[in-house]
Amino acid sequence: MAITSNVSSFLQVVKQGVRPNMFQVDISFPDTVDANTQLVSYMCKSAVLPAANIGVIEVPFRGRTVKIAGDRTFGETWSTTFMNDTDFMIRNAMERWSNGINDLAEGTGVIAPADYQTDLTVEHLDRDDTILKTYIFRSAWPTTIGAIELTNEAADAIETFEVTWRYQHFEASGVNF
């Protein structure tokens, strides 16, 4: 079958294309953290869809190395960037969550994973807010709450900070559910 190379054919295949700025993030905070979950979706400036990694097992055979599929690894972290509001609502919630895991002053914290791990969701949207793809990060918690740079040179910007998450595994719509 011949492939035609005209613009109309191309546009029929590509349609509108998926836009990287159409997404929403849902963070279910642990019960110990009081937070406005709807605000999270509005204030999340960026998120990353996860990479999928399957390891390689190299097996020597008669002077050559045969490669076969190994185990799936979830060594990657998940990163989000949030805009800071004047109430520091999201930042305070993240700091309370982190403090519950390991208290700043006492060095104590919750022990049971169920008390600090939760599921996080990122949904990739179409231009009409139809959900195109969903990723659920299972049993996640924040490992890093990034610094906020204070500077006189940023008069026309909103503060942002990154949060890096660790998770046990992720599930993807169209694959797992």
Question: 156 lies in a domain?
Answer: yes
Q: What is the pLDDT of residue 89?
A: 93
Question: 91 lies in a domain?
Answer: yes
- What CATH code is carried by the domain that includes residue 140? 2.30.110
Question: 2 lies in a domain?
Answer: no
Residues forming beta bridges with residue 135, ordered by sequence position: 122, 172
Q: What is the pLDDT of residue 153?
A: 87
pLDDT category at 63 given cuts 50, 70, 90 is: very high
Range of the domain at 83: 17-48+59-172
Tell me which of 9-23, 25-39, 115-129 is least confident. Answer: 9-23
- Structure tokens belonging to residue 18: 């998926």
Question: 40 lies in a domain?
Answer: yes
Based on the structure, what is the number of domains in the chain? 1
Q: What is the pLDDT of residue 107?
A: 86
